[in-house]
Amino acid sequence: MHIPENYLSPSTCAVMTAAAVPVWVHSVKKIKEVLPKEKIAMIGVGAAFSFLGMMFNVPLVGGTTGHAVGGTLIALLFGPEAACLGVSIALLLQAVLFGDGGILAFGANCFNMAFVLPFVGYGVYSLIMKGASAGSKPGRAYLAAAVGSYVGICCAALCCAIEFGIQPMLFHDAAGNALYCPYDLSIAIPAMMIPHMAVAGVVEAAFTVAIYAFVRKTAPDMTYEAIRGQLPVREEGRKGHFPVYALVAVLIAAVPLGLLATGTAWGEWGADEIAEIAETGSPLGYTPQGMADGFSLDVLMPDYTFGEMSEVAAYILSAVIGAALLIIIFKLISIPLKGKNVANAS
């Protein structure tokens, strides 16, 4: 679901970034109002879960690959606004360090995965849980988390498909050849939605419920209901978050499993290979001009590789760097808040 560089026109990227800016502004304000300083620091752990979840590629229907995002998971831990900020910074690191997702398309990727996904996912969760206590009915909470995360990622995939699909309609040369993404809505929507509804959505739901259930049992104070006073937490539930950090370490060690899925995510082909892609039954036959002559950025670890280092070692190193940076970044973000009265939401 990471839109690469030059698949969207610069004007589309500008519009999507403009749409994301007020969401970022709202999210920062809401986080400062609702979350205590120590919980803001912990958003980095949630962002690390998202970053690592996106490294576990799975095969999808049609021969492509996909992954979980974890946006609804972070929303369940710290709120949808925190999820927006956490996933956004994770996507930024992926783009500038690993070339996973475009710099120009950063606003679009954040709109889809950091705005639509967590807000829709948490909204569905809240609707299912309406009138019920997450503490008294944990089974219902897990079902709501599963449904919410599934719907959230499918809605994000739909937005991504629409952004892809309008490109050949709006931007093409005199001969009718697309300048950017060459596949219209009739191709992009089913190509994105069928694999996400059949497989990726299920993976997202499983990832969300598994980690959410683990956190509720080992560090129950690290949930949005507890932060807002809606989930009573006994004193023994506030002793520390070592099990959560241990889970991050386990996921880092396991990320090479994501290398087992072969193929490329739909819509993430390189400019050097798109001419040979046969999405319409025959090869495209040309490279869209906007892709051939578009913007590119040299990154430190392209596609999570590093020089002559083995693929597995480089993938683990990428996971360590990404998770560590996210935890450090949010620790630093929380420092200026020392001494401020940050009230819990009622």
What is the reported pLDDT for 136? 67
What is the reported pLDDT for 235? 57
Report, as an integer, the average pLDDT of 77-88: 98
What is the reported pLDDT for 236? 52
Token pair of 91, please? 């996507």
Tally the residues of the chain. Answer: 346
> What are the backbone dihedrals phi and psi of residue 106, each rounded to the nearest 5 degrees, phi first?
-60, -45
Tell me: pLDDT of 343 over 50.
no
What is the reported pLDDT for 92? 98
Across the strands, what pairs with 59?
65
Residues 167/7, Cβ–Cβ less than 8 Å: yes
pLDDT in tens, 156-194: 999 999 999 999 999 999 999 999 999 999 999 999 999
Confidence of residue 79 (pLDDT cuts 50, 70, 90): very high
> What are the backbone dihedrals phi and psi of residue 178, each rounded to the nearest 5 degrees, phi first?
-65, 145
Q: How far is CA 269 from the centre of its chain?
A: 19
What is the reported pLDDT for 62? 82
Other CB atoms within 10 A of residue 189 CB: 18
Confidence of residue 234 (pLDDT cuts 50, 70, 90): low
> What are the backbone dihedrals phi and psi of residue 102, each rounded to the nearest 5 degrees, phi first?
-85, 155
Confidence of residue 138 (pLDDT cuts 50, 70, 90): confident
- Residue position matching structure tokens 């309609």: 169
CA distance 269 to 10: 19
Tell me: pLDDT of 133 over 80.
no
pLDDT in tens, 88-103: 999 999 999 999 999 9
- Which helix (H) or strand (E) segment holds residue 162: the answer is helix 138-165
Domain 10-270+303-344 class in CATH = mainly alpha
What is the reported pLDDT for 120? 98
Q: What are the angstrom distances between the C-alpha of 261 and each of 56, 57, 283, 336?
A: 9, 6, 23, 42
What is the reported pLDDT for 346? 37
| Burial status of residue 80 (CB atoms within 10 A of its CB: 0-12, 13-18, 19 or more) | buried
What is the reported pLDDT for 54? 98
- Residue position matching structure tokens 């889809």: 112
Tell me: pLDDT of 84 over 80.
yes
Token pair of 252, please? 């880092």
Confidence of residue 134 (pLDDT cuts 50, 70, 90): low
What is the reported pLDDT for 345? 42
pLDDT in tens, 277-336: 999 889 999 999 999 999 999 999 999 999 999 999 999 999 999 999 999 999 999 998
Across the strands, what pairs with 65?
59
Three-state DSSP at 51 gives helix
Least confident of 119-123, 211-215, 217-221, 333-337: 333-337
pLDDT in tens, 37-76: 889 999 999 999 999 999 999 999 888 999 999 999 999 9
Q: What b/e readout covers 168-185, taking b as 16+ CB neighbours within 10 angstroms?
A: beebbeeeeebbbbbbbe
Tell me: pLDDT of 342 over 50.
no
Token pair of 96, please? 């500038």
